[in-house]
Amino acid sequence: MKSTTSVETLRAIKHHLRQTGSYESRTVEQIRRDMEETARRLPQLEGVRVRATRIGTLEGEWIIPEAAAGTREEGAILYLHGGGFVSGTCAFYRDLVSRIALAAGTPALVVAYRLAPEFPYPAANDDALLAYRWLAENGCGAGRIVLGGDSVGASLALMTLLSLRDGGEALPAGAFLLSPHADLVHLDGESYESRAASDPTGSRAASERILRDYLGSRYREAESLPLLSPLRCSLEGLPPLLVQAGDEEVLLSDAERLAERATSAGVSVELEVWGRMWSVFPFLASHLPEAREAIVHIGSFVRRRLGVR
């Protein structure tokens, strides 16, 4: 996918991201505080209703397009946010998920799963499964759900699919994965080297820290936890996938290898690689036309999977 934003604008945005988005150099408290401050500055997007909810013991948030027919019966998006397993809130992701819900004409449920280091592995995985089962059992139905997520949230969506399949449970209609960590353990994609200089937010060191933060005292067990390396798992039987990545992110190889291996396993996969973009660039939809176009593509994928007109 080609970029239409000027080189000067992209250079300025990437400079800002490098100054403010360094994951490995900040404490968990700093990451969360910065995220809260950013969330306070985000305007409320028009055309949606926001409603707090509870999913068992978890907090969540429904984002409902005003034009949508219903909150569940017509289908729903279950969105799992990123944040390196240590951060992420419904408020921080409200703008992005609102735009996706509007593009899809479909209500979206954002889940505030438990965060590390207070709640290490497998807390986030367990909460993602809990949220999916809750949604499937409360008026939506598994075949009327599309999973979505960004970064480690995309990883959780992918790992949820594998857990559901291996457990013989009903799978959702599809999943969209934005800049997924498709292998949290081995970090052996060539783009960790080739995109190291161009990625303003990601690095191998950042990915290593993500795994350490999530596993905590179980870090040395990583090799024995296959679910954390979906690329090394069988991908047969998964529902259709949309995978989006930026051409300048260190996770590019994860996205490309995931698409290749899933396709080889008989899964329908749409892979979009966006030129001059970085990890989870759709988050900057208020500034980037590429981000807005990528969200239109996500909305189209959801509509096709759910039969929404």
pLDDT score, position 71 = 47
pLDDT 10s digits, 193-227: 999 999 999 999 999 999 999 999 999 999 999 99
Q: What's the whole-number average pLDDT of the chain?
A: 95
- Domain CATH code at residue 291: 3.40.50.1820
Question: Strand, coil or helix: what is 304?
Answer: helix
pLDDT score, position 73 = 61
| Residue 28 lies inside a defined structural domain of this protein | yes
pLDDT score, position 54 = 96
Top mean-pLDDT range of 18-22, 65-69, 192-196: 192-196
pLDDT 10s digits, 260-286: 999 999 999 999 999 999 999 999 999
What percent of the chain lies above the pLDDT cut of 70?
98
Q: Which two tokens stand for residue 87?
A: 């951060």
- Is 60 exceeded by the pLDDT of residue 136? yes
Least confident of 2-16, 87-101, 142-156: 2-16
| Residue 2 lies inside a defined structural domain of this protein | no
- Is 60 exceeded by the pLDDT of residue 76? yes
Sign of CA dihedral 201, 207, 212, 215: positive
pLDDT score, position 72 = 52
Q: What pTM did the predictor assign?
A: 0.96
The number of folded domains in the chain is 1
Choose among 218, 215, 78, 102: nearest CA to 154: 78
| Sheet with 76-80, side-by-side order of all strands | 48-55, 58-65, 108-112, 76-80, 145-150, 174-178, 241-246, 269-274
- Is 90 exceeded by the pLDDT of residue 20? no
| Residue 1 lies inside a defined structural domain of this protein | no
- Is 50 exceeded by the pLDDT of residue 130? yes
pLDDT score, position 23 = 76
Choose among 45, 194, 210: nearest CA to 120: 210
Least confident of 21-30, 201-210, 244-253: 21-30
Question: 43 is in which domain, residue-wise?
Answer: 7-306
Question: Strand, coil or helix: what is 32?
Answer: helix
pLDDT score, position 174 = 98
Choose among 150, 145, 80: nearest CA to 295: 150
CB 106 within 8 A of CB 302: yes
Q: What is the mean pLDDT of residues 160-181?
A: 98
pLDDT score, position 301 = 98
Query: What single-letter amino acid sits at 126?
Result: D
